[in-house]
């Protein structure tokens, strides 16, 4: 049986190759919005997986499905990539293909992962390859990645092309160290996470590519630092509220109904609501500590035509954050009640338009995958504490929608480097996270000393 030392050495031997791969990957400008060059990114990743012996499937999202989630953003293709190796994940193969796996020439009957299934666990690594726009203020070219003082600079280096790089090279290292892949490894690389993930990992879950039938353990390789795992995230509800009054000339304002006045009434109620939400704290280890509470912020306000017209319409946009234990449905109800109060107080119509939601998600710190990764992290750090993300990410699709609790977030990128100018990832983080992924995978498969 290979040793973990052999696995760690195999990762170290690949450091240069990993950095070169990451730089090539970062040079593909996959900014979202608007969602540029997804085809090019997917082709690069598909090729990387094919040369590593994965069975590769390109999963494109049909335009009508895109339109359901992004009605104004259907003008570019959504291209996701899925690669599998090892035994076929039990849920997605044809019965006839399983004869050599299930014993006795019979198709396996059990759909329970790990039960009646001697082919080992099915481990799924997933990451997104869209990046947020680089913006103007970089001191380097965001898409000409450079290496300086042990860091790789480039848009997406932390969030999160280094995560995808790590999971690919973790499996390379396992194989190089002589580990036989028991069960299966799936790598999925998806798009549109930065705009909600519905046409990325959300779509893969909807279509059954990630389900309890084919996935025992899932690692979402988002940037939470190689020194800790992330167990989940707060939820979010983004929406507009509009007030509808009546236009009038400013010199005869009495003839109108000022929509800004009604919005002021609503915003005052939101202020009280915000104070109440701050009392709704969570015991979950949300980082930073100040984010261990529910919240709401008005983020945009828009009204008016001219300085002499009483506006008949005012629209405000809100960002409501939910702590674990809250639901989007209950948050919607609370907003509706405040809207009804404003309608009653002002006599104006108040309208709600939802932009996007994500339910809060958390998995227990003592689930198998969390404990396995935690143990391996301690090979490199004196201590580690799991965190919960202040924002939302794609983990919710796997946990909430696919119903897979054995799903953590772990990757080499630094949270504080996500979405900033001159984004970088430290190379030692990349190497350490790759080692942790490789050794943890071997542990989950029970194939290491």
Binding site for Zn ion (CB under 5 A): 159-160, 222
HSE at residue 215, side-chain half, CA atoms within 13 A, is 28
Query: Residue 90 or 227: which CB sits closer to Zn ion?
Result: 227
Query: Residue 31 or 222: which CB sits closer to Zn ion?
Result: 222
- Smallest distance from the beta carbon of 423 to Zn ion, in angstroms? 11
Task: Measure the CA–CA gap between 211 and 204, rounded to whole angstroms.
Answer: 9
Task: Measure the CA–CA gap between 12 and 35, rounded to whole angstroms.
Answer: 34
Q: Of 11, 210, 232, 223, which is closest to residue 124 (Cα–Cα)?
A: 210
Query: Residue 200 or 386: which CB sits closer to Zn ion?
Result: 200
Query: Residue 222 or 343: which CB sits closer to Zn ion?
Result: 222
- Smallest distance from the beta carbon of 37 to Zn ion, in angstroms? 17
Query: Residue 263 or 415: which CB sits closer to Zn ion?
Result: 415
E strand intervals along 39-98? 55-60, 79-86
- Smallest distance from the beta carbon of 193 to Zn ion, in angstroms? 5
Query: Residue 222 or 265: which CB sits closer to Zn ion?
Result: 222
Query: Residue 222 or 423: which CB sits closer to Zn ion?
Result: 222
Query: Residue 314 or 437: which CB sits closer to Zn ion?
Result: 437
Query: Residue 37 or 119: which CB sits closer to Zn ion?
Result: 37
SS3 state of residue 350? strand
Residue 301 near residue 315, CB atoms below 8 Å: yes
- Smallest distance from the beta carbon of 163 to Zn ion, in angstroms? 8
Q: Of 296, 301, 329, which is closest to residue 315 (Cα–Cα)?
A: 301
Q: Which residues have CB under 8 Å from 304's CB, separation 6+?
A: 260, 311, 314
- Smallest distance from the beta carbon of 413 to Zn ion, in angstroms? 8
- Smallest distance from the beta carbon of 126 to Zn ion, in angstroms? 11
Q: What is the secondary structure of 406-417 as a DSSP string?
A: SEEE--SS-GGG
The Cα-based distances of 123 to 2, 49, 126, 164, 268 in angstroms read 19, 16, 10, 15, 49
Query: Residue 31 or 159: which CB sits closer to Zn ion?
Result: 159
Give how far the C-alpha of residue 302 lies from the chain's centroid of Cα atoms, to the nearest Å: 30
Q: What is the secondary structure of 129-172 as a DSSP string?
A: --B----S--SS-TTS-EEETTEEESTTIIIIIHHHHHHHHHHH
CB-based closest residue to Zn ion: 159
The Cα-based distances of 398 to 209, 271, 344 in angstroms read 10, 34, 42
Q: Which residues have CB under 8 Å from 272's CB, separation 6+?
A: none
- Smallest distance from the beta carbon of 132 to Zn ion, in angstroms? 8
- Smallest distance from the beta carbon of 143 to Zn ion, in angstroms? 17
Residue 40 near residue 32, CB atoms below 8 Å: no
- Smallest distance from the beta carbon of 394 to Zn ion, in angstroms? 8
Query: Residue 247 or 419: which CB sits closer to Zn ion?
Result: 419
Q: Of 13, 11, 16, 7, which is closest to residue 150 (Cα–Cα)?
A: 16
Q: Of 371, 383, 369, 378, which is closest to residue 435 (Cα–Cα)?
A: 378
- In 213-327, alpha helices (H): 259-279
- Smallest distance from the beta carbon of 156 to Zn ion, in angstroms? 9
End-to-end Cα, the chain, rounded Å? 6
- Smallest distance from the beta carbon of 133 to Zn ion, in angstroms? 14
């Amino acid at each position: 049986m290979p040793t973990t030392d052999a696995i760690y050495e195999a990762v170290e031997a690949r450091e240069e190759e990993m950095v070169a791969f990451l730089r090539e990957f970062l040079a593909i400008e996959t900014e979202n919005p608007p969602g540029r060059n997804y085809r090019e990114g997917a082709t690069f990743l598909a090729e990387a997986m094919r040369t590593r012996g994965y069975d590769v499937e390109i999963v494109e999202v049909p335009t009508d499905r895109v339109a359901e989630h992004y009605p104004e953003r259907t003008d570019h293709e959504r291209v996701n990539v899925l690669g599998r190796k090892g035994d076929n994940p039990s849920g997605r193969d044809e019965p006839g293909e399983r004869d050599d796996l299930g014993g006795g020439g019979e198709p396996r009957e059990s759909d329970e992962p790990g039960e009646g299934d001697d082919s080992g666990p099915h481990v799924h690594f997933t990451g997104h390859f869209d990046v947020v726009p680089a913006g103007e203020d970089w001191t380097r070219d965001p898409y000409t990645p450079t290496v300086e003082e042990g860091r790789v600079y480039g848009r997406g280096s932390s969030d999160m092309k280094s995560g995808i790089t790590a999971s690919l090279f973790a499996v390379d290292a396992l194989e190089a160290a002589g580990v036989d892949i028991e069960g299966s490894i799936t790598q999925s690389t998806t798009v549109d996470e930065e705009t909600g993930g519905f046409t990325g990992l959300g779509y893969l879950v909807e279509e059954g590519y990630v389900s309890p039938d084919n996935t025992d353990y899932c690692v979402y390789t988002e940037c939470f630092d190689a020194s800790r795992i992330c167990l989940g995230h707060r939820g979010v509800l983004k929406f507009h509220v509009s007030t509808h009054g009546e236009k009038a000339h400013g010199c005869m304002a009495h003839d109108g109904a000022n929509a800004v006045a009604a919005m002021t009434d609503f915003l005052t109620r939101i202020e009280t609501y915000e104070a109440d939400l701050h009392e709704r704290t969570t015991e979950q280890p949300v980082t930073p500590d100040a984010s261990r509470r529910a919240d709401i912020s008005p983020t945009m306000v828009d009204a008016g035509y001219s300085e002499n017209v009483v506006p008949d319409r005012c629209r405000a946009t809100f960002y409501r954050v939910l702590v674990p234990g809250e639901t989007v449905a209950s948050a919607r109800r609370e907003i509706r009640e405040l809207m009804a109060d404003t309608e009653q107080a002002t006599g104006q119509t108040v309208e709600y338009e939802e932009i996007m939601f994500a339910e809060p998600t958390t998995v227990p710190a003592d689930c198998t995958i969390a404990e396995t990764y935690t143990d391996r992290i301690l090979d490199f750090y004196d201590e580690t504490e799991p965190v919960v993300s202040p924002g939302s990410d794609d983990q919710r699709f796997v946990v909430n929608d696919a119903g897979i609790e054995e799903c953590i977030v772990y990757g080499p990128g630094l949270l504080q480097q996500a979405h900033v100018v001159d984004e970088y990832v430290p190379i030692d983080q990349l190497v350490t996270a790759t080692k942790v992924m490789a050794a943890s995978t071997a542990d989950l498969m029970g194939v290491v000393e």
